[in-house]
Amino acid sequence: MNPSRWFIAALGAVFVFGELVLGISLFRLQVLNVAKSRESQAIQTIRRVRVPGRRGRIFDRNGRVLAECRPSRCIQCNLEEFQRRGASSNTVAAVDAAIDALSRALAIPRQISAREIARHLHTASAIPLVAWQDLDEATFARFCERSHEFPGFADHVSAERTYPFGSLAAHVLGYTGRSDPEGFENDPVYFNEKEMKGRGGVESYYNRFLSGVTGEKRVTVDARGFRPTRAHKSIMDETEDGDVAPANGLDLALTLDIRIQASLERELEGVTGAGVVLDPRDGAVLALASAPTFNPNECVPALTHAMYANLTNAPAKRGQNRAISEGYAPGSTFKPITALAGLATAWMPEDEYNCQGVYRLGNLRLHCWDRYGHGSVNLSDAIEQSCNTFFCNLGTAVGSNAVITAARAFGLGSRTGIDIGGEYSGVVPDDEWKYRWYNEHWYPGDTCQMCIGQGMLLVTPLQMAVVAATLANGGRVYRPYLYARREGAHIASAVRRIPYEDDAIDLVRKSMKAVVETGTGRAILVRTEQAQKPGERRRRFRLKVDCAGKTGTAEIGRGETKRKNTWIIAFAPYENPTVAIAMLVERGESGGKTVAPRVHNVLAGIFGEEEVTGGRPSVHYYEGRD
């Protein structure tokens, strides 16, 4: 055999060896290291897109819809259909021109700018660009009919939050904004639309319940980061591996009763103030209002700068929920608490004090609102007539600690725990507190101030509603709530019982009944219609049920800023109460004159009223402050 043949045989061996090397390399690549390649492929071709579930609705206790999702008709632009060669600005220009053309053809003004198109192209080219949203039905129908003329555009219906009753219960509900979900900012392969998120109120507190569970869709992208165009889609399997369907949010049925809510808000119209109506039997919130208010529909889909200013600008601060997040001096509505503190220590119900119109304590001179004095009054009379000097004397007699303990037993000075955010704890001052904030020790004068609900004492209207409810139900402090997560859960939320004897509580309740019948708060029980024409009798309307209450007028500020915040706490019916109410009006005249008629109207809306004919005419009418 000649050497050439040997060489050819060797060449054959080289060929086989060469192919063997290729085969082994391919085996390593395609069999042993598949996982690595698959992972690299997934990283570059698969984008995860968040799919939010439908947000749950919010009802009142009678099933009226307070918040729901309405369809928002959108036109989407599929960017991949407008890809142009070269710089991305070419694609932006193509999309821009297409949007212009569509805008002219359908006579709808543009909603997005070229800059927004470019931003979307650079950050989220794999998901469609929403070119128009919230279109009216006619325009949308016009587009759908002619959509084949506009390749690359598609109709789409997304959800938008709406509040059918407008501003009603706005502070309770809050509103929804849209934002990027948290925790994914740095994950470039995780796309999302701006998702609805509750802001303020129930929308925020129960956001997790309402928003449901966000799902996930997987989108394949090509080398330029676009979704595959239709031509590619026909080839590739549309697998749904790894897709997670979203779960819709839960519907919430609140304890609110919109009829009570509406009448409460009507009474607060035009003033600055707040009101809370509780069910004293379990702490359910029947109505909670703050004035001035706002319309949450104006806050969706996104809060504008103008709207933000509208919500936050002083003095109106429409966004501020005064019922829970602002502290006020309670004024005389605090006196029932002082009374209980006294009864629990040394003061006897029949102990009397002679009111001379002024209370002197060292250099301090504290005036009673009746400058001539109430004369000799016992505790019951003192509550009925709201005698300041009596309670100053009582407080001095029993000491500040008893009063502080009583206030705290009612839950003042700490958050009630209502299920909406932004609650203020209020202040029940003591020596330590005063030293910390004012670097001064507690003076007996501070005790006097506190006993009549002034000084450093600060409470929220909600806390006063809890006080009213506690007095109404005979001493149980409930945690106020808007939504019962579990059936009967509120029973456990009876935080505690106040440590006072039933007799003492009864005495205070009786006194409060006297307040509305013969005392400073008669306007709660009876509405007097002024005569329309001279000579006509005044007509008087009485609630159909007995009730009890306490007026309050807190003086704050000095000189020019001096003003009065006026209060009422009340509950009805007197026996087995079902409603407890606290209402505050800033810059009022007095509790009895400013707030009492409003509370009457709210209660009349619940229990009804009837005209009083004949009967005992009013003996005298207190014009002074209480």
| d(C-alpha 111, C-alpha 91), whole Å | 18
Q: Is 101 in the site for another protein (CB under 8 A)?
A: no
Residue with token string 């639309």: 193
**Of the candidates 300, 390, 285, the residue with the CA atom closest to the CA atom of residue 339:** 390
Enter the tokens of residue 514.
Answer: 């006297």
- Which of 52, 174, 228, 336 is the binder for another protein (CB under 8 A)? 228
Residue span binding another protein (CB under 8 A) among the ranges 66-74, 215-223, 334-342, 425-433 = 215-223
The nearest distance, CB 122 to another protein, in angstroms, is: 16
CA distances for 291 relative to 264, 268, 448, 506, angstroms: 10, 6, 31, 34
Q: How many alpha carbons lie under 13 Å from residue 624 in its C-beta half-sphere?
A: 15
- Which of 208, 232, 360, 496 is the binder for another protein (CB under 8 A)? 232
Q: Is 90 in the site for another protein (CB under 8 A)?
A: no
Pairing mode, strands 563-572 and 548-556 = antiparallel
Alpha carbon 557 to its chain centroid, in Å, reads 29
Residue span binding another protein (CB under 8 A) among the ranges 67-75, 127-135, 219-227, 333-341 = 219-227
Query: Judged by CB, which is closer to another protein: 33, or 89?
Result: 33
| d(C-alpha 572, C-alpha 545), whole Å | 7
What character string, x for contact with another protein (CB under 8 A) and - otherwise, covers 177-206? ------------------------------
| d(C-alpha 405, C-alpha 338), whole Å | 10
- Which of 44, 90, 113, 312 is the binder for another protein (CB under 8 A)? 44
| d(C-alpha 583, C-alpha 591), whole Å | 9
Residue span binding another protein (CB under 8 A) among the ranges 33-41, 123-131, 305-313, 565-573 = 33-41
The nearest distance, CB 148 to another protein, in angstroms, is: 20
Q: Is 41 in the site for another protein (CB under 8 A)?
A: yes
- Which of 138, 223, 309, 619 is the binder for another protein (CB under 8 A)? 223
Query: Judged by CB, which is closer to another protein: 38, or 496?
Result: 38
- Which of 87, 138, 235, 619 is the binder for another protein (CB under 8 A)? 235
**Of the candidates 607, 557, 565, the residue with the CA atom closest to the CA atom of residue 582:** 565
Q: Is 34 in the site for another protein (CB under 8 A)?
A: yes
The nearest distance, CB 1 to another protein, in angstroms, is: 9
| d(C-alpha 286, C-alpha 496), whole Å | 21
Query: Judged by CB, which is closer to another protein: 7, or 621?
Result: 7
Query: Judged by CB, which is closer to another protein: 32, or 619?
Result: 32
Q: What is the secondary structure of 127-143 as a DSSP string?
A: S-EEEEEEE-HHHHHHH
- Which of 19, 187, 440, 506 is the binder for another protein (CB under 8 A)? 19
| d(C-alpha 530, C-alpha 317), whole Å | 34
The nearest distance, CB 26 to another protein, in angstroms, is: 5
- Which of 9, 144, 157, 531 is the binder for another protein (CB under 8 A)? 9
Q: Is 5 in the site for another protein (CB under 8 A)?
A: yes
The nearest distance, CB 16 to another protein, in angstroms, is: 7
Residue span binding another protein (CB under 8 A) among the ranges 35-43, 159-167, 441-449, 462-470 = 35-43
**Of the candidates 196, 445, 386, 408, the residue with the CA atom closest to the CA atom of residue 296:** 196
- Which of 36, 122, 208, 436 is the binder for another protein (CB under 8 A)? 36
Q: Is the dihedral of CA 279, 285, 289, 290 positive or negative?
A: positive
Interacting residues of 260 by C-beta distance below 8 A, sequence separation 6+: 277, 286, 287, 602, 605, 606
| Furthest-apart CA atoms within the chain: distance in Å | 147
Interacting residues of 341 by C-beta distance below 8 A, sequence separation 6+: 395, 398, 402, 403, 405, 406
Residue span binding another protein (CB under 8 A) among the ranges 16-24, 128-136, 528-536, 604-612 = 16-24
In 3-state terms, what secondary structure has residue 564? Answer: strand
- Which of 84, 122, 224, 485 is the binder for another protein (CB under 8 A)? 224
| d(C-alpha 416, C-alpha 1), whole Å | 107
Binding residues (CB under 8 A) for another protein: these are 3-5, 7-9, 11-12, 15-16, 18-19, 21-23, 25-27, 29-31, 33-34, 36-38, 40-41, 44-45, 220-224, 228, 231-232, 235-237
